[in-house]
Structure 1
Amino acid sequence: MNREQERTFAIKQAAEQTGVSVDTIRYYEKIALLPPAARKGNGHRLYRDQDVQAIRMIACLKKTGMSLEEMRPFLAVSADADPGEHPELMEQVRHHRRTLTDLISSLQQVVDFIDLRLEEASFRPGCSGAPQDGIPQNSADKPLSPLQLDYFRYRPKA
């Protein structure tokens, strides 16, 4: 598809497709995270498919906790570029992935601990013993290891 036949979207359509607000898209353009949008004769912004893909990428990276400044190098590399040509970016992605998997593991420990406490509460006098949606009904469903429980122990600061 050549440039003249390329699909374009109004800012509202781009926002609907990406789940990113119109104001946020304008902000990303203002801080040069996105290239300036093409304009219609009336001044309305027009976004191409690649712009919409960039907005989706920003939204995805943002969900991982990556800062807007950390995203800039990723957005500067074209989508069809060979990752092998950018080893520093690949290492940054690997590092970010490790950070995320550590966070997921830590959050899972918190959920397990909460489940354990909720389960214990259901067996105490005066607490409802009725099953609760999404909460294991006995410790055999999801036991916690001593290492996992150690995560919640108080450690005085040195």
Structure 2
Amino acid sequence: MLSYYKELFAYIQNLVRDKEYAKDITQETYMRTLEANTNTPIDNKRAFLYRVAKNIIIDQARKNNKTNFIEFEEKDILSKDIQAEEIVLKLNEDQVLYEEIKKLPQKRRQVFVLYIVEGYSRKEISQVLNITIASVEKHISRASLQIRESLESNKDIIGE
């Protein structure tokens, strides 16, 4: 399991944006995983570590009500066989999308990023941000609509 340490630490640090806090969460993740491993065998240790880390971050956010650590980060993982012009178009589309997400009001952006980018469920988002599930759904819907309308009005920029 130690072979995943650097990878897990980078993932946690990317989420919390604080190196010392990320170290603490990584240590807590390994402690909880080792405790769980003594009771029940773990089939996919890497996935389990990530899930434990994500749960710790959610728990800490609930306790501290620190929701400002959620931010959209542009990451492109591209296949080596994509042609240069496709790469340019993809980067342009991603940049436009990134800019549109940045224009969203803070709470709407947080909900949208948690749901679309991070893959949290509506229930998890409502717990992390301490809002109702109906509010989560409203934010997701309005963010999607706002981004869609803006992208449609800027089709010439993204090359469609």
Larger RCO of the pair (alpha carbons < 8 Å, separation 6+): 2
The structure in which a higher percent of residues are helix is 2
| TM-score, normalising length: structure 2 | 0.31
| TM-score, normalising length: structure 1 | 0.32
Larger radius of gyration: 1
The structure in which a higher percent of residues are strand is 1
